Structure 1
Amino acid sequence: MGLFRNDPQRVRIETRDVELTATRAPWSLWADGFGKLGIRAIQIIVVVAVAAGIIFAIQQLTLVTIPLVIALILACAFTPVMSWMRRRGVPSVLATIITLLAIVIILGLLGWLIVWAVRDQWDDLYTQAEDGFQHLLAWVQTLPFDFLQPEQIDEWIGQLTDFVTSAQFGSGAIAGVSAVANFVTGFVLMVTILFFFLKDGPQMWEFLLRPFRGENYRRARRIGDKTVSTLGSYVRGTATVAAVDAIGILIGLLILQVPLAIPLAVLVFLLAFIPIVGATVAGILAALVALVANGWVNALFVVGVVVLVNQLEGNFLQPFLMGRSMKLHAFVILVALTVGTVLGGIVGAVLAVPIAAAIWGVIQVWDGPDTPARWARAKAPVEAG
């Protein structure tokens, strides 16, 4: 037997038998290129399924998730105020109550201003809208091609009238009452959650960080600090920019004697929280009102005022208040707005951009205070030759 112990031919035979046995094993199918592709596909399916489940749960629990997110963003925005009062010896409960009352008063005054502006000039707004619609129809009929036929317009108006007088519209009105009840419930829940975020936010975050150790703990701390600073800076900067936009456009509308100047200015302030799309919609509405009330020349001046204010905001005010590092690409903003609108409607459109900015901020500190994640780092330029 010892004669065959070191026989090279026998060693080759045994090695071949082992390789054949390994290749016949079921798991060997996953070792080639198609196997790796299959593993990646399964991983992607699992990630997509988990994300879809999370999104479905959020959509089913919007009465809880939306107040929770809004409270988190407001708490981040007012974190400097809470820190300033705590450094000066103000008790945490008293500082929380003062800050919370300030937030509720600001939101209440804004809501009252909107209701007052719309209610006080609702008849004029309705008349202007109706006149604008009639002007639009008259202009369409003067076009050299048959874009819309009068019979088709009458059919659309009839369908709209039938819908308003139908039971479906009545059920929609009942749903509107339910929406008001949900809004009140969500607002109370948001105020309650905001109270605890303002009072015990740092302690809550420390509790969530208890399972982490070493570098994972330091990374989690960076993520939390960056999220708070990004959301807070975004909200404070956007609110300031929106106020400046509203005041600038209000002054322009008053100088040009455009009716409904105050409601339009309030609308400009609100729509400023929806980047790109909001400013465009506000400018179009202001120009339409000026067109119907004062004519083409006045409408062009209104467009000029809106463009001038938006340019000053985008090139000077916004970079100064929010910083270039928080400025997302327009494509990213549009994608975030689309996803947010599909998932959460108007509220989703408002929250989509600050959440996207916070995610990008987290990526920027993933591997260090000033070190982005490896895949997000800029590549060094390649020298020719």
Structure 2
Amino acid sequence: MAGSRLHSTRLSPWADGLGRAGSRAAQILLILTLVVVGVYALLQIRLLVIPVIIALILAAAIGPFVNLLRRRGVPGALATAIAFLGLLIALSAIITVIVISVRSQADELVTSATEGLDELQAFLTSGPFPISPEQLAEARTAIIDFATSAQFRSGAISGVSVVAEFLTGATLMAVILFFFLKDGKKIWEFFLRPFKGEREQKLRRSGARTLEVLGSYVRGTAIVALVDTVAIGIALLILGVPLAIPLAMIVFIGAFVPLVGATLAGVLAALVALVANGPVVALIVVAVVVGVNQLEGDLLQPIVMGKSLRLHALVILLALTAGTILAGIIGAVLSVPIAAVAWAVLQVWTAEDPNLEPLNPDLPPAGSEPT
């Protein structure tokens, strides 16, 4: 009997090395299928998923301020309202500054752009690699034809729907953020109720690590972005580049996309300087942007970010690419903090978390009832 069982085991197609490899490959394919299906399902409700993620990131960033107010005796609802309104005022101030600056310098920019384009056309026709006027006329005609085409108009119509979707998502995000700040502990305790013992402890630590990583990432990135904005903005003002303030604000926003965001914003500033002020000023702007980026990468990020973002540059690049493919610009902004959180949570569940002490004293102890 034992011999027959042993013989049948040896004859099993899954008993040899190829069978084990096939079994493992099937498991990997099943996991990948589940991941793809899950991502596809989340993309179908991205109008809900993206506001929730943004609200969670903002809550992690300004949550310590709310907790500080509560420890100082400020009622929970009032502390939440103060932090929430402060964030809305800051965002509104940034938008107002950009709009006012664009309106006040629009005429100057149009005039400078016209002169700059004339200079650029003269350089292209008489430079080291001359382009004939006929080729420039053909390019201009192609651009005009595209701008008046049905494809461009349909893109403009879809842009209107994008604006409506953005406003809806922004409103939903604001509401979710308010409740995260006000009732974050209760919401988290509600999700932890079905779990007990070691699994509950790991989930609790995962939540603490998520708050720590997201909060440190947002606050650190904001400090780095502020330094970039001030340095590049001062350079643009000294050089007399039009729209210096809005361009500096774009640098601040772009800095939240690691590796490439601030650089692309600097390239935009250099293009404006090229059109409005000529190639010499544009080269100076490029030099300033490169210098600021070097300062950011070699000094500011290691000091300000610390160890909150333990990801290799290649991992960040891959996360940026995947996020951009899946969700466009907003995916590029959210991909890196999501990857950092995923790595931190993985460390918790594999018992490789280097931070063994409690990470967030504001979270209630295990087994306690929400207040």
Higher relative contact order (CA 8 A, sep 6+): 2
**Does the CA contact (< 8 Å) of 1:234 and 1:354 recur in 2?**
yes
State the partner residue of 2:73. Answer: 89
Q: Which amino acid aligns with 2:276?
A: A
2:312 aligns with one of 326, 329, 335: 329
Question: Once the 2 structures are TM-superposed, how far is the Cα of residue 126 of structure 1 from its aligned partner?
Answer: 5.0
Q: Which amino acid aligns with 2:318?
A: V
State the partner residue of 2:153. Answer: 170
State the partner residue of 2:42. Answer: 58
Judge which range, 81-90 or 213-222, deviates more.
Answer: 213-222
Q: Which amino acid aligns with 2:343?
A: W
Judge which range, 226-235 or 284-293, deviates more.
Answer: 284-293
Question: Once the 2 structures are TM-superposed, how far is the Cα of residue 153 of structure 1 from its aligned partner?
Answer: 5.3
Shift of the 327–248 alpha-carbon distance from structure 1 to 2, 3 Å rule, reads farther
Q: Within 2, Cα distance between the matches of 1:134 and 1:167?
A: 29
Question: Once the 2 structures are TM-superposed, how far is the Cα of residue 286 of structure 1 from its aligned partner?
Answer: 2.3
Q: Tell me if 1:224 matches 2:190.
A: no
Q: Give aligned pairs, total.
A: 355
Q: Within 2, Cα distance between the matches of 1:84 and 1:33?
A: 59
Q: Within 2, Cα distance between the matches of 1:175 and 1:246?
A: 32
**Does the CA contact (< 8 Å) of 2:116 and 2:277 recur in 1?**
no
State the partner residue of 2:30. Answer: 46
Question: Once the 2 structures are TM-superposed, how far is the Cα of residue 198 of structure 1 from its aligned partner?
Answer: 0.7
Alignment of structure 1 residues 72-151 onto 2, 5 Å:
72-125=56-109, 139=123
State the partner residue of 1:244. Answer: 227
> What is the Cα-based RMSD across aligned positions, in Å?
2.6
Shift of the 38–102 alpha-carbon distance from structure 1 to 2, 3 Å rule, reads same
Alignment of structure 1 residues 18-29 onto 2, 5 Å:
18-23=5-10, 28-29=12-13
State the partner residue of 1:339. Answer: 322
Q: Which amino acid aligns with 2:22?
A: G
Question: Once the 2 structures are TM-superposed, how far is the Cα of residue 191 of structure 1 from its aligned partner?
Answer: 0.9
State the partner residue of 2:245. Answer: 262
Question: Once the 2 structures are TM-superposed, how far is the Cα of residue 346 of structure 1 from its aligned partner?
Answer: 0.7
2:20 aligns with one of 23, 36, 47: 36
Q: Tell me if 1:319 matches 2:341.
A: no
Q: Within 2, Cα distance between the matches of 1:144 and 1:257?
A: 28
State the partner residue of 1:213. Answer: 196
Q: Tell me if 1:363 matches 2:346.
A: yes
Q: SS of 1:241's equivalent?
A: helix
Q: Tell me if 1:191 matches 2:164.
A: no
1:280 aligns with one of 228, 246, 263: 263
Question: Once the 2 structures are TM-superposed, how far is the Cα of residue 113 of structure 1 from its aligned partner?
Answer: 2.1
- What CA deviation, in whole Å up to 9, does each residue of 1:317-363 have, x standing for no partner? 22222114525322122111111111111111111111122222223
Judge which range, 154-163 or 77-86, deviates more.
Answer: 154-163
Q: Within 2, Cα distance between the matches of 1:137 and 1:338?
A: 35
Q: SS of 1:78's equivalent?
A: helix
Judge which range, 313-322 or 342-351, deviates more.
Answer: 313-322
Q: SS of 1:344's equivalent?
A: helix
Q: Could you state the TM-score of these two structures normalised by the residue count of structure 2?
A: 0.86
**Does the CA contact (< 8 Å) of 2:98 and 2:245 recur in 1?**
no
User: Structure 1: which 5+ runs fail to align?
Assistant: 1-13, 373-385
Q: Within 2, Cα distance between the matches of 1:100 and 1:223?
A: 25
Q: SS of 2:311's equivalent?
A: coil
**Does the CA contact (< 8 Å) of 1:132 and 1:288 recur in 2?**
no
Q: Could you state the TM-score of these two structures normalised by the residue count of structure 1?
A: 0.83
Judge which range, 15-24 or 112-121, deviates more.
Answer: 15-24
Q: SS of 2:13's equivalent?
A: helix
**Does the CA contact (< 8 Å) of 1:247 and 1:265 recur in 2?**
yes
User: Structure 2: which 5+ runs fail to align?
Assistant: 357-371
Q: Which amino acid aligns with 2:177?
A: L
**Does the CA contact (< 8 Å) of 2:221 and 2:255 recur in 1?**
yes
Q: Within 1, Cα distance between the matches of 2:178 and 2:244?
A: 36
Q: SS of 1:274's equivalent?
A: coil
Q: Which amino acid aligns with 1:204?
A: I
Q: Tell me if 1:158 matches 2:141.
A: yes
Q: Which amino acid aligns with 1:345?
A: G
Shift of the 159–86 alpha-carbon distance from structure 1 to 2, 3 Å rule, reads same
Q: Within 2, Cα distance between the matches of 1:120 and 1:58?
A: 42
